[in-house]
Structure 1
Amino acid sequence: MTSEGMEYRVKESSAARDANAVVVGVDGSDAAQAAVVWAARMCADRNLSLRIIHALNFSAYTYGAPYLDVAGIFDWMEDEGKEILARAAAAAREVSPDLDISTEISSLGGARWLVSLSEDSRALVLGASGSGAAGGIGSTAVNAASHGVCPVVVVHQRNGEVPSDGPVVVGIDGSPTSERATAVAFDEAAQRGVPLVAIHAWSDTPHGTLAGGRSAIRDPRAFEDAEQVVLSERLAGWSERYPDVKVKRELYIDGPRTHLLAWSQKAQLVVVGSRGRGGFRGLLLGSTSNDLVQKAHCPVMVVRPERS
């Protein structure tokens, strides 16, 4: 036990599950600390517990193993991991002193462990980039977003700060994954008391691919009316379920990635499905969600389909 009564455990796997816990991975980087603060705010606002984890990374020592003091290296990495967890827990306590926090170290690889924990957690939260020095949690963001069962949040900073104002933005394309993303986005907007911006693009092609844009359409007004009907149908049930959430609808002819990235500059959260209508079978993270995970200006929540 530490002086603050917090227990650090080193284990190969995690059997304990908590659907009311938010899991945040840390590696000592500034990006990971920002993720801790974001996750702590979510937990404090929703009466959830916060589980801070750190994965030991031995990959740098693989080739020299016969000549190294493996036990000594393990002890050093474990001590460093405890320091990383202590700093992360302190940052979370600054957000809410009464937060229910647990910390854990594992020698299981970061991505594998995160995916395992995602099976019953409320959300996984990661920094957009990591130091790669002790755990490399940040570098596993795409992998976790691809395979995670629960929503995975990749926290991006804007001008050194994580945005806490602005709307929730959701990308809608009519796919089953998009439908779940819409449900999650409505709930996030309701929890945060902010408007929801629903982004819909007629085509998944890159922005500007369709020569002439709207002018290339014979009847732009009829086209827009038809797409508005489609978008309204996809939002109708959720708007009835969340009557207090104001919805702004944005229609584009193409370039969903471009428009979602642009909206991320003024949003506090962007929600997307892991793979949309144009995704190839077997591709776990689509091009749009992949771009947002790597380039967005605000936190991005990637949602996978419900398990059948």
Structure 2
Amino acid sequence: MSTSEQEHDVRRRPDPPPPGRHHVVVGYDGSDGSVRALAWAGEEAERLGAPLRVVVCVDWHPVASPEAAGALLAPPDLRRLGEQLADQALTRLRGDHSGLEVGSAVHDWAAAVPALLEESAAARLVVLGSRGHGAFADLMLGSTSAQVAVHAHCPVVVVRPPDASEAPAATGRGVVVGADSSPAACRALVFALRAAAARGSEVTAVRAWQPPSLWGSTQHGPAHAQLVALERAQADLLAQVVADARQTVPDVVVHERVVRDHPATALLEAARGAELLVVGTRGSGGFRGLLLGSVSRAVIHHAHGPVAVVHSED
């Protein structure tokens, strides 16, 4: 049996997460992106009065090079590496949030996606950075982000870096959410209302729509009167979904905004300086499975702040 196989056989499972789906999970690997995610998760857990569980996933892939003539490098002590990273994260959290209940879980010899999905089954929220090392590297561009965001058993927040050109005074303008009548968007709206309530802020619910490019037998859009009627119908739909959501979270101010534009463009524009942008994993329209479609990819790639992804069923 090879050294790596022996190491894998003695891998120690982390302690199970606490029951009840009350805690927040944050993925940490020491990268700048995961440091941002750790800071955001600490603030959010404190805001919610929830315990925070730092999850470190460390895996090893043999590296070959021309100099090594195909020889495999000896595997590192992944358990020790993971525990060092976890201790680093806990030290940061205890320094910034002395009253926060924190713990850690080290998944050694473990790929990030299955470990994070397993952790999400018991969590109320999973927080990830937009880029990391190793298993978390290029999170927003690779399969890790798509699989975790689509298949997690709870909402996922991806902490994007802020826009360096944006003035600090422009930040903190409440929570923005994409709103339509689909089940996932309705859940996203309730999530946004709760997030705003915890922050003492307001919600901007954005209903983006585009008129049909073909109208009858011509290549023109609808006439002005018809366009006004369509826009009024969109506003009525938005008002109804907001009213339904406010039955669950009644004490939050909601600004309803109907925008005649591509949904991704409308959401990104509305979310400039916002504390949080919330989207559902499924929407009504041409793309089913929002995270695999153009809207979510644009939002996740280009938002300058945290993006929460809420599933149709958690």
Interval containing the TM-score (normalised by the shorter chain)? 0.7 to 0.9
> 1:56 — aligned with what?
58
8 Å CA contact 1:152, 1:301 repeated in 2: yes
Unaligned runs of 5+ in 1: 1-8
Does residue 90 of structure 1 match 2:91? Answer: yes
TM-score between both structures, scaled by the size of structure 2: 0.81
TM-score between both structures, scaled by the size of structure 1: 0.82
Q: Distance in 1 between matches of 2:313 and 2:238?
A: 22
Letter of the structure 1 residue corresponding to residue 145 of structure 2: A
Distance 1:152 1:137, change over 3 A: farther
> 2:216 — aligned with what?
none
Letter of the structure 1 residue corresponding to residue 93 of structure 2: A
Q: Percent identity?
A: 33
Which structure 2 residues correspond to residues 262-281 of structure 1 after superposition, within 5 A? 262-278=269-285, 280=287
Which structure 2 residues correspond to residues 112-127 of structure 1 after superposition, within 5 A? 112-127=114-129
Does residue 156 of structure 1 match 2:163? Answer: no
Does residue 136 of structure 1 match 2:136? Answer: yes
> 2:38 — aligned with what?
36
TM superposition shift of 1:96:
1.0
Mark the structure with the bigger radius of gyration.
Answer: 2
Q: Distance in 2 between matches of 1:81 and 1:298?
A: 28
8 Å CA contact 1:153, 1:299 repeated in 2: yes
TM superposition shift of 1:90:
2.0
Which structure 2 residues correspond to residues 201-220 of structure 1 after superposition, within 5 A? 201-203=208-210, 217-220=224-227
8 Å CA contact 1:111, 1:137 repeated in 2: no
TM superposition shift of 1:22:
0.6
8 Å CA contact 1:275, 1:286 repeated in 2: no
> 2:296 — aligned with what?
289
8 Å CA contact 2:55, 2:106 repeated in 1: yes
User: 3-state SS of the aligned residue for 1:218?
Assistant: helix
8 Å CA contact 2:24, 2:53 repeated in 1: yes
Q: Distance in 1 between matches of 2:286 and 2:104?
A: 37
Distance 1:14 1:284, change over 3 A: farther
Q: Distance in 2 between matches of 1:205 and 1:148?
A: 35
8 Å CA contact 2:14, 2:106 repeated in 1: no
Backbone CA RMSD of aligned residues: 3.1
TM superposition shift of 1:170:
0.6
Q: Distance in 2 between matches of 1:87 and 1:279?
A: 45
8 Å CA contact 1:205, 1:254 repeated in 2: no
> 2:4 — aligned with what?
none
> 2:7 — aligned with what?
none
Please, which of 187, 190, 194 is the counterpart of residue 197 of structure 2?
Answer: 190
Superposed CA offset, 1:79-98 (max 9, x none): 33333222221222233112
What number of residue pairs does the alignment pair up? Answer: 288
8 Å CA contact 1:158, 1:298 repeated in 2: yes
Q: Distance in 1 between matches of 2:291 and 2:163?
A: 31
Superposed CA offset, 1:240-287 (max 9, x none): 443321111111223010111122222110111012113555776433
